[in-house]
């Protein structure tokens, strides 16, 4: 059982002892720390915070605790109840709120939950702000409001519909174009809020929807991370239904993966490549992804005459670099699409709309589209960490070993070889080292990963 405190929020498993897990006491303590920080940060007498959650089993409990804590601090709450991460992000500025909290452990299994923290723009907090909240939590220096100054709760369950309207109004989105294509699409909503939002969006585009695991019960029918080994059911159903493609989202709907018409994975890395291909084909501009993302985005960006830059892993880092480079689209290779015309946050609804536009205008099949892109293969592996392991020392040793290669140490260690690359980094959300590789074949990518894992184990004495 685990409790992970980081600059992006607090994440942990439900149950157990306070301080070791995400218990009710930890949820209250961290919500209070955010509220105290927000009061100091905003310098306003009266604050408003937007709260929304995915459908996981502990969501209602954590929601009640967080909402009541903020009310106890004299903060008004706009409670979206069942929602998505990008929906909460767009709701914050639309409500003129001072911040937001999303209750979701994203792609983690059902025993996990988390508080993800937003600023007044509906964007994730930066490192300094997150560190300040951790400091407040450590001191437990809370000052709650008198009875006459308690906050009020306003419930608003219309924001998924508002979000869909916002997507339909984007300048490069035209529902009438998509309607003419008469698509049939299978949707796997992993029994969370994507099962509400994605089918609703698709129907606005005139798409025939086949729903799979779209009841928001929180009982995830498979591991909720949208990776190939978890998605046999939708891959089979796309073929059986003769669908044009399939859509898979994670529980909070900020990661988007497609299944090609032949039942094969389109590739999470290629979600951003395809959406960028569409946007860059209409508007000249630059792109950003993170150091663990495919070279294919760089290739597509350069093909369209733009400039590609890589940021450290983490949405806030990608967003910072996108703003600095005036990127018109960006994101992360885990299927996270960030499209600034909408908002600076990963958004599967926006990604779905852009992909529908691309397919409607290009014609042909999704498998043919995938075959038209530069072909790279990734291996994503990990090493479980044991207590007392000197991870920073291990990464330093690996950087020294490959000092003669093209090296980046802004986020772990990224080694760029001529034909492939490897990225080693500590996870912010799990006690693991991630080993990502990319090469021109799966065998080569897997082989490189296994070789590096062997070298790490030798260095660590594992």
Known catalytic residues? 106
Q: How many CB atoms lie within 10 A of CB 71?
A: 19
What's the CA gap between 450 and 456, in Å, rounded?
Answer: 10
Residues 207/197, Cβ–Cβ less than 8 Å: no
What's the CA gap between 349 and 85, in Å, rounded?
Answer: 11
What is the DSSP code (8-state) at residue 254? Answer: -
What's the CA gap between 22 and 18, in Å, rounded?
Answer: 7
What's the CA gap between 181 and 362, in Å, rounded?
Answer: 10
Instruction: List residues bridging with 265 in a β-sheet.
Output: 259
Three-state SS for 58?
coil
Secondary structure string (H, E, C) spanning 218-250: CCCCCCCCCCHHHCHHHHHHHHHCCCCEEEEEC
Residues 160/54, Cβ–Cβ less than 8 Å: no
Instruction: Measure Cα distances from 127 to 8, 268, 404 in Å.
Output: 8, 27, 31
Longest CA–CA span in the chain (Å) reads 66
């Amino acid at each position: 059982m685990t409790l992970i405190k980081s600059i992006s929020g607090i994440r942990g498993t439900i149950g157990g002892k306070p301080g070791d897990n995400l218990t009710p006491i930890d949820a209250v303590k961290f919500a209070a720390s955010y509220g105290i920080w927000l009061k100091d940060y905003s310098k306003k007498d009266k604050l408003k915070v937007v709260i929304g959650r995915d459908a996981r089993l502990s969501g209602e409990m954590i929601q009640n605790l967080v909402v009541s804590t903020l009310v106890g601090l004299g903060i008004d709450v706009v409670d979206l109840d069942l929602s998505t991460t990008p929906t909460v992000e767009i709701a914050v500025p639309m409500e003129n709120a001072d911040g937001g909290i999303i209750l979701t452990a994203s792609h983690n299994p059902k025993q996990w939950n988390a508080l993800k923290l937003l600023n007044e723009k509906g964007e994730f907090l930066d490192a300094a702000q997150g560190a300040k909240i951790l400091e407040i939590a450590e001191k437990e220096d809370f000052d709650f409001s008198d009875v006459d100054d308690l906050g009020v709760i306003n419930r608003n369950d219309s924001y998924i519909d508002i979000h869909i309207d916002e997507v339909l109004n984007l300048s490069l989105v035209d529902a009438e174009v998509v309607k003419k294509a008469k698509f049939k699409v299978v949707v796997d909503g992993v029994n969370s809020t994507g099962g509400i939002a994605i089918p609703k969006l698709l129907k606005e585009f005139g798409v025939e929807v086949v729903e799979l695991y779209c009841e928001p019960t929180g009982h995830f029918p498979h591991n909720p991370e949208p990776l190939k080994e978890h998605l046999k059911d939708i891959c089979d159903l796309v073929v059986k239904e003769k669908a044009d493609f399939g859509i898979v989202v994670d529980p909070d709907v900020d990661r988007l993966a497609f299944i090609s018409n032949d039942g094969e994975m389109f590739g999470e890395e290629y979600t951003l490549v395809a959406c960028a291909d569409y946007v860059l084909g209409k508007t000249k501009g630059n792109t950003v992804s993170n150091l663990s993302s495919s070279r294919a985005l760089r290739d597509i960006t350069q093909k369209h005459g733009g400039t590609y830059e890589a940021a450290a892993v983490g949405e806030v880092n990608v967003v910072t670099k996108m703003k600095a480079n005036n990127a018109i689209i960006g994101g992360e290779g885990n299927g996270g699409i960030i499209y600034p015309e909408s908002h600076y946050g990963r958004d599967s609804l926006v990604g779905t709309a852009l992909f529908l536009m691309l397919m409607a205008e290009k014609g042909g099949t999704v498998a043919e589209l995938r075959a038209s892109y530069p072909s790279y293969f990734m291996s994503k592996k990990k090493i479980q960490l044991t207590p007392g392991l000197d991870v920073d020392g291990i990464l330093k040793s690996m950087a020294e070993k490959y000092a003669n290669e093209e090296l980046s140490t802004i986020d772990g260690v990224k080694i760029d070889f001529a034909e492939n690359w490897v990225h080693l980094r500590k996870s912010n959300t799990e006690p693991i080292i991630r080993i990502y590789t990319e090469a021109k074949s799966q065998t080569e990518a897997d082989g490189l990963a296994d070789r590096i894992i062997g070298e790490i184990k030798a260095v660590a004495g594992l």
